[in-house]
Amino acid sequence: MAEETAKKKNQWLEWLKAILIAVILAFLLRSFVFATSIVEGESMEPTLEDGETILFNKFVYLTGEPERGDIVIIDRPIKNYVKRIIALPGETIEVKNHVLYIDGKKYEETFISEEARNHTGNFGPYTVPENEYFVMGDNREISMDSRNGLGFIQEDTIIGRSEFIVFPFDEWTSTN
């Protein structure tokens, strides 16, 4: 009888250890590798829509640098923003007649529609400071971004890269 009680106690301890390890792993993954964010507003449409939940990778920029085209989560005191990196540190960006130029060369924005491109508006040239990025939303007509309110984005405020739309489930897809 005592042997059976000891065996049950051992099983409970093994279960508690397994649960504790799972909780610690989940905490570490959530803190340092992946997190979720809910898209608020229409500034990234049609790529990301209002209310969608995205999974973002926090680890990717610990080992590498943000790249042009990355959809990033930007940490700001009041709220986080989801935008696309358009120009990198040291590059000069300009839009003339609805055409984007980076360092004087035409850049094809395959991720936005012709209509969105027509709403970008002329600006620049601006040279992006070191350790900062120029970002824009895909829905140029209504997006608050580096052109009109967010300014250049400091590298240390970029907290991750969007990887997947995870909710609603029927729209589950990669955002890269």
Residues annotated as part of the active site: 43, 83
* CB contact at 8 A, 53 and 36: yes
- Sign of torsion over alpha carbons 79, 85, 87, 90: positive
**Which residue in this structure is represented by tokens 């960006």?**
93
Across 24-157, the runs of DSSP E, i.e. the strands, are 34-38, 53-57, 71-74, 81-87, 92-96, 99-102, 105-106, 123-127, 132-136, 153-154
For residues 48 and 166, what is the distance between their CA atoms, to the nearest angstrom?
Answer: 11
The count of other CB atoms within 10 Å of the CB of residue 4 is 8
Element at 164 (helix H, strand E): strand 158-167
Question: CA–CA distance from 107 to each of 73, 103, 115, 143 (Å)?
Answer: 23, 10, 16, 20
